[in-house]
Homo-oligomer: A and B are copies of this chain.
């Protein structure tokens, strides 16, 4: 157990060092030797945890996506309507803005690498498709519970994911340019208003 904990700790130190160096100098300009020096591990220790720099990069991507996933996984709460749940999830974006501060260069590097390396593409694009499908099921449920008009769930889900990506990117690139958590909340509220089932008065 102590050995495992030590191993986890080393792995975490390597990830933190890589995250900081990649953000500062970029992925290409950062060598494994520098990551080892910053993390205080030997090359042997490094390769025990990661077979390559790309593996390290993918581990960072997974770690970040797991955080988003965990925030969403709660799903619908007891007695909560779908619109209320989606608005609550919009609040997660505030955490993304806070947690992502300073990490934008790495997110961009994920996408940039994804355009050149199929393995990274799979790891980058698959989660967005998953988020879209997750929200499509949620919208479908919202239609069934009578909250939404009979919209195309996939279109609404793609809209939500695109909006979240655009808000995140702008919020990280230009944090002073707007009150992004408020914009996130209100823009998603606007979108939901557009698909809400209007009460029919007899």
Contacts and interface: CB of A to CB of B under 8 A. Distances in A.
B162 A170 contact: yes
A158 B173 contact: no
Interface stretch (A53-61, A69-77, A182-190): A182-190
A112 B63 CA distance: 21
Q: Which DSSP category, helix, strand, loop or mixed, fits chain A's interface?
A: helix
Contacts of A26: 28, 112
A173 to B, nearest CB: 6
Contact of A183 (B28, B158, B182, B193): B158
A65 interface: no
Interface residues of A, number: 49
22 contacts: A104-B115, A105-B116, A108-B111, A111-B173, A114-B173, A125-B173, A155-B190, A156-B190, A161-B170, A162-B163, A162-B166, A162-B170, A162-B187, A163-B187, A166-B166, A166-B167, A190-B191, A190-B194, A191-B191, A192-B194, A193-B195, A198-B198
Interface of A: 26, 28-29, 104-105, 108-109, 111-112, 114-116, 121, 124-125, 128-129, 132, 151-152, 154-156, 158-159, 161-167, 169-170, 173-174, 177-178, 182-183, 186-187, 190-195, 198
Given A109-B112, A194-B194, A194-B195, 14 more contacts: A28-B28, A108-B111, A124-B173, A125-B173, A129-B177, A156-B187, A156-B190, A159-B183, A159-B190, A162-B183, A162-B187, A163-B166, A165-B169, A190-B194
